[in-house]
Amino acid sequence: MTPKHHLPVSLPRFALRTCLLGALTFATLVHAQVAAPPAAPDAPKDAKDKDTVELPVFEVQGSKDKGYFARQAVSGMKTKANLMDTPANIAVIPRDLIDDIGVPESASDTLKFVVSGVNPYVRGEQMQIRGQRVGFTMVDDIPDLSFFADNAGIDTYEILKGPQALLYGSNPSLFGLVIKTTKKPLPQFEANFGASVGDYGWRRTDVDITGPLVKGFSYRVIGAYQKSDGLSASYRDNRKVLNTTLQWTNGKTTLRASYDWHQFELGTFDATNVIDNTGPILKQYASPFGKNFRYAPDWGTYGLYFNDVRLNGTHQWNENWQTRVYYQREKGDRPSIDYLYVGTRDFVNKTITLDYFDYDENFISSAYGTDNIGKYTLGPVDLQSNFGYLYDTRKGVGETFTYTPGFITTSLITPVDFSKIAIPSSPKHKPTPNREDGTTQTFYFLETATLLDGRLIVNGGLSRVKATNPQAPANDTNDTAKRAGIVAKPTKDISVYYGYATMFQATSATTIDINGNRLPNRLGEGNEVGVKASLFNGLLTATVDYYWLELSNIPVPSGSRNSSGLGYYILSPSRKYTGYEADLQFQLTKDWQLSLVAWTGETLDSDGKRASNTLNDSAGFFTRYNFSQGKLAGWSVGGGTYWSGNRYFRGGQSFDAYSVTNLFVGYRVNENLSCSVRVNNVFDEQYIAGAWSTGDADIGDPRMIRFSVNYTYR
């Protein structure tokens, strides 16, 4: 089979495809009747009621059926605040936009279309923000440990750029964090049922039921079942998801208990990633047996099994003061069973050597804390105080390894019959029960002052972070994170802002160099200036910013592993990051929504050279048009394109730039029933979507067609 070749994808090609898709959309709109003038969103009140203080709550109202664009977020202040009043680039992706992008398996594959500077790092939830890999996402602003996740129970993604250790402890990176806001119980009954089928054995069913019970109680039950063979057997993605929530409220007090049960079974995919690294442009090796040929048997499964319990309570003491307390306990299992890993490859002699790897880790993580907010006035100045505490810990309760380097060497041209190979019988390493991975404690305080009738907003604060780790007590430390910001509003529609913050992040016990030494803790400092606009009564919103950041003590994967299969890291003393971002959102008519994002940046190591495994630019757009009148009433069309610059590695090698275009067509049969057809990767691009290193990469999905039916009862 002759492999298909593609020209390198450049920014002009991205622009061309954008123009082609825009022309197609425009041509379609010409045949539709002229839409009615857009309905303006609710405008913010200019006058302020001095007699009653409306206290921001800790959650934003559900976003379903409210369009693509949000005006408020909770991530910037841990309480509801207008995006125009926050000194940072914050993006909120509502449920309608999540559904239209239609990638339930991955936050990074959703966000890349509609948030500037956010790009996939590797398969799953791991992503880059502003050119650097960030850590775990957060669920309802509580640290989450899932490398893979499903968005069935997610209402919004909130992406907070820049260092935010002040409010979120030592876990967040210097570059930003992603907060997943979950769906909450509703006071009225609603039920939604969805079913999808598609290429490569894709089958998925979704259920979402919510409503009231008695005496202030309400509930929500969300379930998803997915079977997917994927690009090949090694890319299968089978899921079982259950999210349940019980809530009670009397108006001033709200108590909520949630239980999440997730089971993911994924292909042992690394052994398929045979990357030809003999030249400057890295690419998947073109096997004579076809691009999807596997160089290892499908022996086992990479699994992720999670059980989550979350408790949350809020109480409004009076019109000015409110408190939230929360607790989360997450129990998980991450097994990789009978797993072959690419060890070395020799493209001169056309051979490949595979390592055998069997791994199983069980862990328990817990987090608890409190957030408090109060509003008061001193003379002409309106003040808001935020203060609280976060405790976060993780403990391993069992870990086993089998690692056999150089297990088998075979030809790339005529590989052995893997089905006849016996599984290694080498003994497992002794489990290490109750391994304490460490804890962090954060005390924070943030003060905000609003002056000149809301035209000037100033905030600043400190947090004290204490990190301990029994595995490496020499790195136990206390540190202080700082934050300051200012927002000036020359008009009610324009904000000019500056933000400054520092960050501290404790490295884990497994972040070690080749000599077994744990790398030092990471320190960072960030600056950002920008302009925000909400014009034409909110029909056009935009954020444009410039940032400059510096990070010290960066662990970089070396590509080497020890006898237990754990990876070694190389210490990069410091890095500097600069870049520009633009996020624009248009409500062109009442039926037409459009998002445009772009980012360009630079990541330099301490020697002044481009850092390894980094991107320097990306762009994307997404749009939807609903036909509300005429013969096409009930139909909708939409889609978007994501363009990624090249992924560069030290030594001059890189994965080439690429673009991916997705399209969908929907039809609403009546107020309850709708259906859609979507085509992902319309042009069937062959590309590397993400990579740990030059030899360990994730191959992008080929063209995929999916058909979905949805029924909603209210």
Q: What is the pLDDT of residue 43?
A: 40
DSSP string, 187-208: SS-EEEEEEEEETTTEEEEEEE
Q: Residue 400 pLDDT > 80, yes or no? A: no
Q: Is 540 or 474 the better-scoring residue by pLDDT?
A: 540
Q: What is the pLDDT of residue 682?
A: 95
Domain regions of the chain by residue span = 11-713
Query: Sorting pLDDT into bands at 50, 70 and 90, what band is 693?
Result: confident
Q: What is the pLDDT of residue 566?
A: 67
Rounded Cα–Cα distance for residues 255 and 215 (Å): 13
Q: What is the pLDDT of residue 232?
A: 65
Quote the mean pLDDT of the chain: 84
User: What is the architecture, at CATH level 2, of domain 11-713?
Assistant: Beta Barrel (2.40)
Query: Sorting pLDDT into bands at 50, 70 and 90, what band is 511?
Result: confident
The secondary structure of 621-666, three-state, reads EEEEEECCCHHHCCEEEEEEEEEECCEEECCCEEECCEEEEEEEEE
- At residue 110, φ and ψ (nearest 5 deg) are -85, -50
Going 402 to 405 to 408 to 411, the CA torsion angle's sign is positive
Owner of token pair 């893997």 = 418
Structure tokens of 522?
Answer: 């990471």
Cβ atoms within 10 Å, residue 168: 25
Q: Residue 298 pLDDT > 50, yes or no? A: yes
Rounded mean pLDDT, 328-354: 84
Q: Report the share of the chain in percent with pLDDT over 90.
A: 47
- CA-based nearest residue to 519, from 576, 467, 472, 560: 472
* Residue 313 Cα distances to 53, 134, 325, 369, 371, angstroms: 22, 29, 5, 11, 10
* CA-based end-to-end distance of the chain: 52
Model pTM?
0.87
Cβ atoms within 10 Å, residue 319: 11
Within 8 A by CB and 6+ apart from 165, the residues are: 172, 442, 463, 465, 481, 501, 502, 503, 504, 505
Q: What is the pLDDT of residue 100?
A: 93
- CA-based nearest residue to 386, from 438, 340, 442, 456: 442
Side chain identity at residue 471, one-letter code = Q
Cβ atoms within 10 Å, residue 215: 7
What kind and span of H or E run contains 12? Answer: helix 11-30
Going 262 to 268 to 272 to 278, the CA torsion angle's sign is positive
pLDDT tens track for 230-253: 766 667 889 999 999 999 999 899
Q: What is the pLDDT of residue 153?
A: 93
Q: What is the pLDDT of residue 371?
A: 94
Yes or no: say if 17 and 662 are a contact pair by the CB < 8 Å rule. no
Yes or no: say if 70 and 81 are a contact pair by the CB < 8 Å rule. no
288-302 burial: b if 16+ Cβ within 10 Å, else e: eeebbbbbbbbbbbb
Rounded Cα–Cα distance for residues 293 and 274 (Å): 10
Q: Residue 80 pLDDT > 60, yes or no? A: yes
Q: Residue 480 pLDDT > 90, yes or no? A: no
Rounded mean pLDDT, 115-140: 86
Q: What is the pLDDT of residue 8?
A: 41
Q: What is the Rg, in whole angstroms, of the alpha carbon atoms belonging to the chain?
A: 25
Yes or no: say if 132 and 121 are a contact pair by the CB < 8 Å rule. no
Q: Is 68 or 189 the better-scoring residue by pLDDT?
A: 189
Structure tokens of 590?
Answer: 């009442």
Q: What is the pLDDT of residue 361?
A: 80
Q: If you count them, how many residues does the chain have? A: 714
Structure tokens of 686?
Answer: 């062959």
pLDDT tens track for 193-210: 999 999 888 999 999 999
pLDDT tens track for 647-673: 999 888 999 999 999 999 999 999 999
Owner of token pair 């505490």 = 389
